[in-house]
């Protein structure tokens, strides 16, 4: 039985590498390492700007284009998108259906290739990487949350949360897993399988799974798109908590103004272009921009 599960995990790894986490983990999170480096730099007076540690964006995109198909039926899903995602912030990406939100997220996460342009993930330009290198980079740096949860039905809640570490052959740190399960509100559901959990609880498992490897960045594609409004609110609270409590850099695609209202920054896509870039805004203001852009 155990062997079968492991086999399934490996198949899943091949088929949906988005679910996996960091493979060659250090004992420290990238954040804590960076903090130490920063402090060391502060203690020793820097003679020149060259010695200042790299504080660039976690992910940046330069003039991304993505064309699906060819000839008359070609669709330009992205038509020149550039952006920087700041560390420790929650960025929402909004826009009508078909505006290119999922395409952008998949390309930022290295799951799809741009037709033109460049993505830099944690300081590495990804266009020159082969599939193997890209998978490794993704495992180290990216966590994913999907609209339909994408949990493994034969694994219980805790096993699903730990899955990215299992795939990477890492031994989970018990204290961290306990803390994480508590923080996502699953402490008393750890041995339940997905079929025994509500939609909201399943999404809590998916959030735990995205956070377990302490990724550099979490991408969430419509994380509340399949939940009722009360459950959505709880899940959004949890997303916000992971940013505030763990400094978890997060990019969340949504078309719900209430979801965008928890973000530090809100990007609006229309027709494959970023057409508006807002700071913190309430749902009413977001709705106003959506209506304005729809005209």
Ligand X SMILES: Nc1ncnc2c1ncn2[C@@H]1O[C@H](COP(=O)(O)OP(=O)(O)O)[C@@H](O)[C@H]1O
Task: Single out the residue of 101, 127, 149, 150 nearest to residue 251, CA to CA.
Answer: 101
DSSP one-letter code for 113:
-
Q: Hunting for tokens 């700041």 — which residue is that? A: 86
In the structure encoding, which two tokens stand for residue 9, read together? Answer: 């995990």
State in angstroms the smallest separation of the CB of 82 from ligand X.
17
Q: Which is nearer to Mg ion, 122 or 220 (CB)?
A: 220
Q: Which is nearer to ligand X, 85 or 253 (CB)?
A: 253
Q: Which of 102, 156, 160, 201 binds Mg ion (CB under 5 A)?
A: 102
State in angstroms the smallest separation of the CB of 219 from ligand X.
12
Under the binding rule (CB under 6 A), the answer on residue 73 touching ligand X is no
Contact range with ligand X by CB under 6 A, out of 19-27, 95-103, 114-122, 208-216: 95-103
Q: Which of 29, 87, 102, 201 binds ligand X (CB under 6 A)?
A: 102
State in angstroms the smallest separation of the CB of 32 from ligand X.
34
Q: Tell me the chain's radius of gyration from C-alpha atoms.
A: 19
State in angstroms the smallest separation of the CB of 92 from ligand X.
13
Residues in CB range of 120: below 8 A, 6 or more apart: 57, 59, 60, 61, 62, 126
Under the binding rule (CB under 6 A), the answer on residue 103 touching ligand X is yes
Q: Put the strands of the sheet holding 217-221 in their side by side order.
A: 142-145, 217-221, 250-253, 90-94, 265-270, 273-279
Under the binding rule (CB under 6 A), the answer on residue 223 touching ligand X is no
Contact range with Mg ion by CB under 5 A, out of 47-55, 97-105, 142-150, 210-218: 97-105
In the structure encoding, which two tokens stand for residue 116, read together? Answer: 């033109």
In the structure encoding, which two tokens stand for residue 89, read together? Answer: 């912030």
Q: Which of 6, 52, 75, 125 binds ligand X (CB under 6 A)?
A: 75
Q: Which does 23 bind (CB under 5 to 8 A by kind): ligand X, Mg ion, none?
A: none
Burial 202-214 (b: 16+ CB within 10 A, else e): bbbbbbbbbbbbb
Q: Which is nearer to ligand X, 91 or 102 (CB)?
A: 102
The three-state secondary structure class of 138 is helix
In the structure encoding, which two tokens stand for residue 280, read together? Answer: 């913190």
Q: Which is nearer to ligand X, 20 or 221 (CB)?
A: 221
Residues that bind ligand X (CB under 6 A): 68-69, 75, 77, 95, 97-103
């Amino acid at each position: 039985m155990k062997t079968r599960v492991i086999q399934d995990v490996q198949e899943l790894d091949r088929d949906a590498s988005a679910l996996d986490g960091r493979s060659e983990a250090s004992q420290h999170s990238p954040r804590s390492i960076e903090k130490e480096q920063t402090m060391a730099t502060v203690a020793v007076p820097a003679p020149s700007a060259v010695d200042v540690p790299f504080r660039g964006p976690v992910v940046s995109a330069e003039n991304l284009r993505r064309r699906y198909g060819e000839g008359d039926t070609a669709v330009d899903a992205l038509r020149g998108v550039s952006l920087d995602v700041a560390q420790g912030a929650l960025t929402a990406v909004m826009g009508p259906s078909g505006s290119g939100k999922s395409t952008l997220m998949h390309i930022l996460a290295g799951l799809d290739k741009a037709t033109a342009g460049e993505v830099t993930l944690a300081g590495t330009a990804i266009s020159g990487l082969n599939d193997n290198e890209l998978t490794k980079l993704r495992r180290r740096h990216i966590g994913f949350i999907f609209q339909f949860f994408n949990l493994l039905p034969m694994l219980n809640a805790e096993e699903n949360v730990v899955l990215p570490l299992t795939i990477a052959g890492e031994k989970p740190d018990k204290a961290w897993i306990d803390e994480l399960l508590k923080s996502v509100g699953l402490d008393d559901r750890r041995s339940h399988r997905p079929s025994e959990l509500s939609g909201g609880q399943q999404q809590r498992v998916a959030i735990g799974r995205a956070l377990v490897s302490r990724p550099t960045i979490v991408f969430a594609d419509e994380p509340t798109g399949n939940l009722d409004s009360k459950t959505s609110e709880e899940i959004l609270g949890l997303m916000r908590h992971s940013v505030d409590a763990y400094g978890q850099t997060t990019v969340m695609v949504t078309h719900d103004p209430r979801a965008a209202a928890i973000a530090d920054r809100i990007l609006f896509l229309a027709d494959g272009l970023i057409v508006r870039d807002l700071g913190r805004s309430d749902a009413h203001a977001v709705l106003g921009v959506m209506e304005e852009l729809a005209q």
